[in-house]
Amino acid sequence: MVERYTYRLQLPESGKRIVIEAMARLAEKPTADTVVFDLDDAMRVGSVTFTCEDRYVSAPYVRTSGQIKVVIPHGAFDPGETMCIRIFYDGEPTDGLMIATDAKGRWQAFGDNFPNRARHWLASMDHPSRKARVTFEVSAPVDRTVVANGQLVASWPVGAQRRMMVWREDRPIPTYGMVIAAGSLEMHDLGRTACGFAEDRGCVPQAVWYAPEVMPFMPGEFSRAGEIVEFFARTIGAYPYEKLGHVQSTTRYGGMENPSAIFYFDRGFRQKGGISDDLIAHETAHQWFGDAVTEREWAHVWLSEGFATFFAALWAQHAHGDSAYEAQMAENRDAVLRAAIVASRAVIDSVEPDPNRLLNENSYQKGGFVLRMLRDELGDSAFFRGLRRYYAAHRHGNAMTQDLQLAMQGTAERELGWFFDQWLRRPGWAELSTTWSWDRATGRVTLRVEQGARFGAYRLSLPLEIVDAFGTPARLTVHINAQASQSVMLPGVSRTAPASVHCDPDHTLLAVCATK
């Protein structure tokens, strides 16, 4: 297991060839006779050595397709010695580090590693369960700004034309978030924000890095970045990193949540309002969920994307009111009910081998809506206490869905396996058909509920709206068992028959409900 990676990069004046010395400091002596690193074949390995200092002891290794297998001979490390493996390589990355010239002909490079593309330029154990600290020591031409994870700890000139910049991240992060940005970037300092809500109880420095020509649009919605961090910190726990940077970049995504250095799509910066507070909130939420607490296996990626989707809606509720929250949830629900992947696969999809294909409506919209339903099921007090317990237990580590379930059960003080199983481990949604009757003799209404066979029966807290004979609506919730057919007598007595009974009137469930 690697405790820290240190990548010493030499960036070119032009072209795509980079030179890297990667040092992996091991947390403990290897128990196997081989340590395996992922590295794309486009990167040519020159040598591999042991030791952490500047004296190099040659290490035997085997270069296989997409990997470097470093052989650990008996006695390679002395007892108590700090153990390091250095890999010297160079080449032109085919992915991961996106090197190009922009529309004005300026050279630029941006890390874009998600989900498992760090290996195209970083020798690493490229899996979310293999979190580590990281240092980037970047030699670049003096006219380029370099931004990376963590904080800038050193910078010095190397001759007249180059500068060395050292960025150090002291929290363990997933390899998909280990990135640099290098190019003609200006900085807008957002100042010391969310004071009292950093892990050291200090402030969270924030800044925006952007192309010079978009300065008239700065800071735009980034002016709310401090408020967003403070809101999430109050809700979840202290902000987990040394700073938070927002970077105009080249990325295949609208935003990429690299720890402490979020990268956003270039085009969004080139128009007023092109980066919304919703996108900023989504990527900022990932600093807690996805980055600080990272799914141990790709099948549980909803713990990242579903959480960011939900927390973006939560920010909308805080900043813009309940109607904004409900509007986002309605969009998420509509997306789920239209998606073929939701009808055929579960949110926790252990069958799909390609993590790219897991970035779909199951992980984002359904995952986010499941959290909304869990909030409604438990109430705000137990729900948010459960989230805080889950985050505190797994901060700077990894988690699985069962860890979230245990945290929620602890604060709710009841078993929730049924909820997690039906919404996360089964495809689809609830399909209901309801009818009702009124008994003149007793004044009671009986609701008949039939559940469709396509996705099976669900256990539900089913909201109802009952409109009386005078047109006055009333709301109540009834508990439905996971049965194909059942009857429920509603509370209350009426001298006249209701005008109507509607199920899930506000669409707060992932359910299609037909009332006859």
Q: Tabulate helix, strand, coil % of the chain (nearest 5).
A: 30, 35, 35
31, 108: one domain: yes
To which H or E segment does residue 342 belong?
helix 340-344
85, 169: one domain: yes
What is the count of structural domains for the chain?
4
pLDDT at 495: 87
232, 374: one domain: no
122, 168: one domain: yes
Residue at a domain's end among 184, 210, 233: 184
For residue 303, count CB atoms less than 10 angstroms from its CB and return exposed for 0-12, middle for 13-18, buried for 19 or more. Answer: buried
CA atoms of 299 and 353, how far apart (whole Å): 9
pLDDT at 109: 98
Give the tens place of pLDDT for each residue, 392-421.
999 999 999 999 999 999 999 999 999 999
> What's the average model confidence in pLDDT over 423-432?
98
263, 211: one domain: yes
pLDDT at 494: 86
- Tell me: pLDDT of 204 over 70: yes
CA atoms of 124 and 352, how far apart (whole Å): 23
User: Is 105 inside a domain boundary?
Assistant: yes
Residue at a domain's end among 255, 288, 321: 288
* Separation of CA 449 from chain center: 38
User: Is 438 inside a domain boundary?
Assistant: yes
363, 509: one domain: no
pLDDT band, residue 80 (cuts 50/70/90): low
452, 497: one domain: yes
pLDDT band, residue 467 (cuts 50/70/90): very high
276, 419: one domain: no
User: Is 60 inside a domain boundary?
Assistant: yes
Give the tens place of pLDDT for each residue, 275-327.
999 999 999 999 999 999 999 999 999 999 999 999 999 999 999 999 999 99
**How long a stretch of residues is the chain?**
516
Model pTM score: 0.96
CATH of the domain at 213: 3.30.2010.30
Domain boundaries, position 35: 1-184
CA atoms of 10 and 1, how far apart (whole Å): 26
The helix/strand/coil state of 217 is helix
**What rounded mean pLDDT belongs to the chain?**
96
CA atoms of 52 and 59, how far apart (whole Å): 13
CATH of the domain at 13: 2.60.40.1730
CA atoms of 139 and 157, how far apart (whole Å): 9
User: Is 500 inside a domain boundary?
Assistant: yes
215, 306: one domain: no
138: which DSSP letter? E
The amino acid occupying position 166 is: V
CATH of the domain at 339: 1.10.390.10
pLDDT at 29: 83
Give the tens place of pLDDT for each residue, 218-252.
999 999 999 999 999 999 999 999 999 999 998 89
CA atoms of 377 and 419, how far apart (whole Å): 9
* Separation of CA 391 from chain center: 13
208, 276: one domain: yes
CA atoms of 329 and 255, how far apart (whole Å): 20
Residue at a domain's end among 424, 445, 469: 424
The helix/strand/coil state of 103 is coil
> What's the average model confidence in pLDDT over 93-110?
95
CA neighbours closer than 13 Å in the CB half-sphere of residue 236: 30
Rg (CA), the chain: 27
Q: Categorise residue 320: left if φ over 0, alpha if ψ from -120 to 50, beta otherwise.
A: alpha
User: Is 193 inside a domain boundary?
Assistant: no
> What's the average model confidence in pLDDT over 457-476?
95
User: Is 189 inside a domain boundary?
Assistant: no
Q: Categorise residue 201: left if φ over 0, alpha if ψ from -120 to 50, beta otherwise.
A: left
90, 164: one domain: yes
195: which DSSP letter? T
327, 269: one domain: no
CA atoms of 351 and 359, how far apart (whole Å): 14
pLDDT at 332: 98
User: Is 191 inside a domain boundary?
Assistant: no
- Residue in the block written with tokens 């500047």: 54
Give the tens place of pLDDT for each residue, 7-60.
999 999 999 999 999 999 999 888 788 999 999 999 999 999 998 887 778 999
User: Is 27 inside a domain boundary?
Assistant: yes
Measured N-to-C along each axis, helices 380-394 and 367-378 cross at an angle, to the nearest 10 degrees, of 120
